[in-house]
Structure 1
Amino acid sequence: MDKLGALNMFVATAEYGSFSRAAEQLGKTPSALTKAVSHLEAELGARLFERSTRRTVLTEAGRVYLETARQVLQRLHEVGEEIGQLQHGLYGNLRITAPLAFGRAFLDEVCAGFLTQYPQIKLRIDLCDAFVDLLESGYDLALREGRSDLPGLIARVVGQNRIALCASPAYLARRPQPLAPDSIEAHDWLVYQHPALDRGLWWVEREGRRIGLPQPRQPRLESDNYDLLLAAALAGGGVLHTPLWSAAPYLADGRLVQLMSDYQIDPDAFGPHILAVYPSHRRATAKVVAFIDYLQAFLGARGIA
């Protein structure tokens, strides 16, 4: 029996929880799927499913086998696609997950430019601040801030996560007092709320001296949505503690001004880097490498890489 065909029928049966539903999706008969799974069970010497008249459930051996079967089928698909790309150029689907704030800051332009350069590639971009398990979710690539030391993942640094304090010219005209460690409470603050961030202190360094500064006691605006705070900063609402990858275009066109620029501000809990992360069991395909290279070049052109 065709081993790959049998693996595909086994995976489909596991995913649909039924021989008949899986057969309908594959355009085969339930008896063909039953025969294929029985062949695998005979070869392994173990049952993959517990069958009854009411349901079909994976055994413990079946759950172990399913993970490897999925990886085998996925890798064969990727290899076939890569071989095709050697002859016809990059094509296919690329699935990426990234934090919400990356979308407005740079990912919208990156995606538009990438699609223009590679017209045969289709992108799916899911923006979400929740942690996504790449080993289970099926994404080809994740963009993240900070560090990545989780097993089974490969991380490549594509940019720097440097922090700046910024405000609009309109706000500075209204509140001209210079921002300094001893004048924090004299200013209106726009504060991003996130469980990973220290609510007590943020750290700065100047001339080799590291200083812990207290978080503003009464921010003018607090939110767990960074884009809302950025819009408020651009509208003159106050001072924003912001990553330079977000503020860079507004600093360049004058809509924001960097404050305390002689201080180096710690990147806090999000860490010092922007990372492109992918599962180690999938060798980086040509289209993944192409996207990472394009992103790194784009951030480099903005002075963020």
Structure 2
Amino acid sequence: METLSNLECFARAAATGSFSSAAKQLGLTPSAVSRNVAMLERNLAVRLFHRTTRKLTLTEAGERLADSIRSNLEGLQDAIAEASDQQQEPSGVLKVSMASVFGMDYVLPLLPGFLTAYPKIRIDWQLDNRHVDLVAEGYDAAIGRGSELTPGTISRTLARVRIVAVASPAYMKARRPPASPQDLAGLDLIDMRSTRTGRLVQWMLRDEHGNEAVSPVGERIIFDDPGGLCKAAALGLGAAFVATSHALPYLQRGELIQLLPDWSADGGPISIYYANRRYLPPKTRVFVDYVADAFRDQDLAGRF
């Protein structure tokens, strides 16, 4: 009978395509993972991986085994986790990815209260705008906007994002305020480049009467971070389309004004993503609940 450790090392290596990545997720060394997989191959008398210096791919036998044990292995892990969770205080490293501006403005302020409530949890947060694969990269959770769900993950919506056009009062002082989205083409536009597609982002704008217009682009000043867009607009470099949640501090200080107040775009939901397991680790479960409760109780969603 194979040990759970050997099978788990094989399953993680199959999912990530790397002994090193599997080792990080399991808290082992790459040599330990490789040794456990080799032991499994020896006991089964079959080769499960094609190994090169650059790549690790499943053999046909490896693919069959990975498909066969996936649900059963997850069931065993869930059963063990459920039994352990009944007495376990949330603890361990909580690895989370989220966009930088969103994380600093909305999630980081929740951290003191969260750590007071759960002192045994250690924080490892990545503030970055790239989309991550929770399962393959070993994240406990991620928070972001408009992500496509990868296999093995589910989402919980925190708020919906509204996109508006903004510029600084100084920039607009000598210019005629735009009366329609088409008028924005006459301004210096600060564009956003998608970190996922590499393309300039354009929005479908709508007014209260249901009229639609595609936002123009300028291609002179381009950022891949919404914080950069807001800052550049506040410096008087032009007009930008930004989420109200990012623009709100600038609007409140009078550093930005909203253009075309009757027009906006639906930026989709801000959601928290986590592994689709029946029994989440306590650290992940309490984090998801804490953030979702804060967005509801503190009306953070209203800022979006």
TM-score w.r.t. structure 1 length? 0.70
Q: How far off its partner does 1:152 sit?
A: 3.5
Identity of aligned residues (%): 27
Q: How far off its partner does 1:124 sit?
A: 2.0
Q: How far off its partner does 1:164 sit?
A: 1.7
In the alignment, which residue of structure 2 is the partner of 1:277?
A: 273
CA distance, structure 2, for counterparts of residue 153 and residue 51 of structure 1: 28
CA distance, structure 1, for counterparts of residue 187 and residue 160 of structure 2: 28
Q: How far off its partner does 1:140 sit?
A: 2.0
Output the aligned Cα RMSD. 4.2
Q: How far off its partner does 1:163 sit?
A: 0.9
Give the AA of the match of 1:292: V
In the TM superposition, 1:218-229 aligns within 5 A as 218=218, 221-229=221-229
In the TM superposition, 1:1-305 aligns within 5 A as 3-7=3-7, 38-39=42-43, 41=44, 47-49=46-48, 59-65=59-65, 80=80, 83-146=83-146, 148=148, 150-172=150-172, 174-175=173-174, 177-181=176-180, 183-194=183-194, 195=197, 202-213=203-214, 215-216=216-217, 218=218, 221-263=221-263, 265-267=264-266, 271-281=267-277, 283-300=279-296, 301-302=299-300, 303-304=302-303
CA distance, structure 2, for counterparts of residue 24 and residue 168 of structure 1: 53
Give the AA of the match of 2:210: R
Give the AA of the match of 1:211: E
Unaligned runs of 5+ in 2: 21-27
Give the AA of the match of 2:209: G
Say whether the 8 Å CA contact 1:9–1:36 is kept in structure 2. no
Q: How far off its partner does 1:10 sit?
A: 5.9
CA distance, structure 1, for counterparts of residue 30 and residue 229 of structure 2: 50
Which range moves more in the overlay, 272-281 or 100-109?
A: 100-109
CA distance, structure 2, for counterparts of residue 262 and residue 117 of structure 1: 43
Say whether the 8 Å CA contact 1:188–1:219 is kept in structure 2. no
Cα deviation 1:172-212 (Å, max 9, x = unaligned): 4x34632321532443322212347666x643222323131
Q: How far off its partner does 1:160 sit?
A: 0.9
**In the comparison of the two structures, how many residue pairs are matched?**
283
Secondary structure, in 3 states, of the residue corresponding to 1:207? Answer: coil
Q: How far off its partner does 1:241 sit?
A: 0.6
Q: How far off its partner does 1:122 sit?
A: 1.7
Say whether the 8 Å CA contact 2:191–2:219 is kept in structure 1. yes
TM-score w.r.t. structure 2 length? 0.70
Give the AA of the match of 1:229: L
Say whether the 8 Å CA contact 1:160–1:304 is kept in structure 2. no
In the alignment, which residue of structure 1 is the partner of 2:24?
A: none
Cα deviation 1:19-62 (Å, max 9, x = unaligned): xxx999559xx7x98766544x1xxxx6245899xxx9964323
Cα deviation 1:195-239 (Å, max 9, x = unaligned): 47666x6432223231315514x4662233433222212333332
Q: How far off its partner does 1:69 sit?
A: 6.2
CA distance, structure 2, for counterparts of residue 9 and residue 176 of structure 1: 63
Q: How far off its partner does 1:97 sit?
A: 2.3
Say whether the 8 Å CA contact 2:81–2:281 is kept in structure 1. no
The structure with the larger Rg is 1
